[in-house]
């Protein structure tokens, strides 16, 4: 548990070499990432992971399970962003509930990533399991970036 948490923490702290050519310009990085997702997330992940046929057989079921659980968090994150956009009309209790929901989403995403790393590292080398988590982190950042662009301060 401690080992996987340490590796997960390392993954969250490291900057990914994916799209390194745009690292100096975060907006360009996000635009490039979004354009690479145009053919679809699975295609993007497949290209980035560079898995052997044997690894693919083990990878995709873990990926599918992760995506299934992640879908709910994405919906909740979008709903929270929409609710936040109405901040001026929220009362104190609603604002507190929204703050708690946003924190819970973040914590559940961290738990999901830890669980996925644990499962993934049983079927792939640790470096590839870590790479997958970093790709998911990039995509989560893209979602947050897009939500932030459309959410008033």
What is the overall mean pLDDT for the chain?
A: 85
- Compute the 3-state secondary structure of the chain and give helix, strand, coil in percent, each to the nearest 5: 85, 0, 15
Note the Cα 78 to chain centre separation in Å.
14
**pLDDT at residue 7 is higher than 70:** no
123 has a pLDDT exceeding 50? yes
DSSP state of 40: -
Distance CA 71, CA 143 (A): 12
**CA atoms of 79 and 73, how far apart (whole Å):** 10
Domain positions in the chain are 2-149
pLDDT of residue 14: 45
114-140 b/e (C-beta count within 10 Å ≥ 16 → b): bbbbbbbbeebeeebbbbbbbbbbbbb
Mind listing the pLDDT tens digit for each residue in 56-93?
A: 999 999 999 999 999 999 999 999 999 998 888 999 99
Q: Per-residue confidence at 47, pLDDT binned at 50, 70, 90?
A: very high
Please tell me which residue, 106 or 147, carries the higher pLDDT value.
Answer: 106
Q: Which residues of 40-54 are buried (b: 16+ CB within 10 A; e: fewer)?
A: eeeebbbebbebeee
């Amino acid at each position: 548990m401690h080992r996987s948490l340490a590796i997960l923490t390392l993954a969250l702290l490291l900057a990914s070499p994916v799209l390194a050519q745009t690292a100096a310009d975060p907006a360009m990085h996000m635009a490039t990432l979004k354009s690479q997702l145009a053919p679809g997330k699975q295609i993007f992940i497949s290209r980035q992971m560079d898995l052997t046929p044997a690894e693919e057989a083990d990878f995709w079921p873990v990926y599918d399970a992760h995506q299934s659980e992640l879908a709910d968090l994405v919906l909740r994150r979008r709903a929270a962003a929409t609710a936040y956009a109405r901040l001026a009309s929220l009362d104190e209790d609603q604002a507190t509930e929204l703050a708690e929901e946003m924190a819970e989403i973040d914590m559940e995403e961290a738990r999901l990533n830890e669980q996925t790393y644990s499962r993934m590292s049983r079927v792939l080398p640790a470096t590839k399991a870590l790479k997958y988590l970093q790709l998911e982190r990039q995509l989560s950042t893209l979602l947050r970036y897009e939500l932030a662009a459309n959410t008033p301060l």
